[in-house]
Amino acid sequence: MRATTAAFPACRFASGCERRQIARMTLSSRISTRVAIACVCIAGLTVGACAGVSAGAAAGSSAAAAVTTLPVLDSARLLGDLFRLSHDSMGGRPVGSPGNAKARTWLVSELKRIGVEPVAGTFEHPFASLRRIGSDSVRGVNVLGMVRGRSAAAKTIVVSAHYDHVPVRNGQIYNGADDNASGTAAVLQMAAYFNANRPEHTMIFALWDAEEVGLVGARAFVAKPPVPLAGIVANVNLDMVARGDKGELYAAGASPYPQMRPVLESLVPDAAVTLRLGHDSGGGQNDWTNQSDQGAFNAAKIPFVYFGVEDHPDYHQPTDDPEKVNGKFYYGAARTIAAFVARLDRAALVWPARN
């Protein structure tokens, strides 16, 4: 739910002629073309990354190696998935809408393509809440996939992002590219990476619904978890990770959960973006502890780290479009977060059991 402004350096996604050509293409073709243009504009990415190197082949077969190096993710899919989720055809993905259902169907297909397991036999986990929007109960569907751990399979790390956004207002679509197609696409990339580089802990890759109406999907998961709640080691939540005019990514959670601090601090010098710790104490608007889905885990005393960037003028505006994403920053942020998850996976092996 947080972010800062940036755009591709000295670059627009397409000229007027290119935009007219893109408008005549199918959705898949438009996404591919605009991502190809975006990749050309992302200075600093490796040739392999823009060409779409697979997470497993690029990063090697050892999960331990991920502890000391930044995982190489598939940047073409990362950007392409963000563009797809924030396309006008998704209608902003508000809970209960046709666009939300369209996004969910595609997310399930991606988890199947990646090869992760369903959770408790299914990728789709419906829920209903007594909290109401107008006269209707909030009904949504979380999307969950799982990679089983090697040595600590009974313990679970939940890596999450919400895929819903807000409804059309006054005829304008709120595409939510940063909020939170960015987090959703990054979680898909981490699912692919850890499926190819099996972690020590079991990992659930959770795509929450109904965050925008009160963290409803995450609260439903914690209230009726598909795995034992006592076995959930931590939640790593992503919400708005694609824009940053200062190149800064914030990690909140080390103040309430000090065991996270050494893991985060060890990552700072290796991060692909400027990683700052904060926004997790003092209360008020600048304390992000309960301002996204990690709040549901915090309420259950489950340690969390929330990754996000500070607010920008397009937050909850119809102008939160994919063309404004800072591609170089986004890719670096996604790699940095994946590296944190890998380090957390190792560090948490020696943590005492939660009470």
Query: Mind listing the domains of the chain with CATH numbers?
Result: 16-350 (3.40.630.10)
CA–chain centroid gap for 227, Å, is: 21
Q: How far apart (Å, rounded) are the C-alpha atoms in residues 251 and 180?
A: 16
Q: Residue 268 in contact with residue 275, Cβ under 8 Å?
A: yes
In this structure, which amino acid lies at residue 350? V
Nearest to 322 by CA among 177, 182, 179, 181: 177
| Structure token pair of residue 341 | 């998850």
Q: How far apart (Å, rounded) are the C-alpha atoms in residues 3 and 72?
A: 23
pLDDT value for 46 = 41
pLDDT value for 137 = 81
Q: How far apart (Å, rounded) are the C-alpha atoms in residues 156 and 331?
A: 26
**pLDDT tens for each residue of the chain, 355 residues long:** 543 333 323 333 343 334 334 444 455 555 554 554 455 444 444 433 443 333 333 333 333 333 458 999 999 999 999 999 999 999 999 999 999 999 999 999 999 999 999 999 999 999 998 654 555 688 999 999 999 999 999 999 999 999 999 999 999 999 999 999 999 999 999 999 999 999 999 999 999 999 999 999 999 999 999 999 999 999 999 999 999 878 899 999 999 999 999 999 999 999 999 999 999 998 888 888 999 999 999 999 999 999 999 988 899 999 999 999 999 999 999 999 999 999 999 999 999 988 7
pLDDT value for 153 = 93
| Structure token pair of residue 45 | 């990415």
Q: How far apart (Å, rounded) are the C-alpha atoms in residues 4 and 240?
A: 9
**CA-to-CA dists, residue 64 to 57, 158, 333, 341, angstroms:** 15, 19, 20, 12
| Structure token pair of residue 247 | 């190149």
| Placement of tokens 């960037």 in the chain | 309
Residues pairing with 277 in the sheet: 251
pLDDT value for 44 = 43
Nearest to 155 by CA among 336, 307, 302: 302
Nearest to 303 by CA among 263, 247, 243, 333: 263
Other Cβ atoms closer than 10 A to 214: 15
CA–chain centroid gap for 251, Å, is: 13
Give the CB-side neighbour count of residue 53, counting CA atoms within 13 A: 15
What 259-268 contacts at long range (C-beta under 8 Å, 24+ apart), as own/partner pairs, is 259/303, 259/347, 259/351, 260/234, 260/303, 260/305, 260/344, 262/347, 263/340, 263/343, 263/344, 263/347, 264/305, 264/340, 266/343, 267/336, 267/339, 267/340, 267/343
Q: How far apart (Å, rounded) are the C-alpha atoms in residues 280 and 263?
A: 16
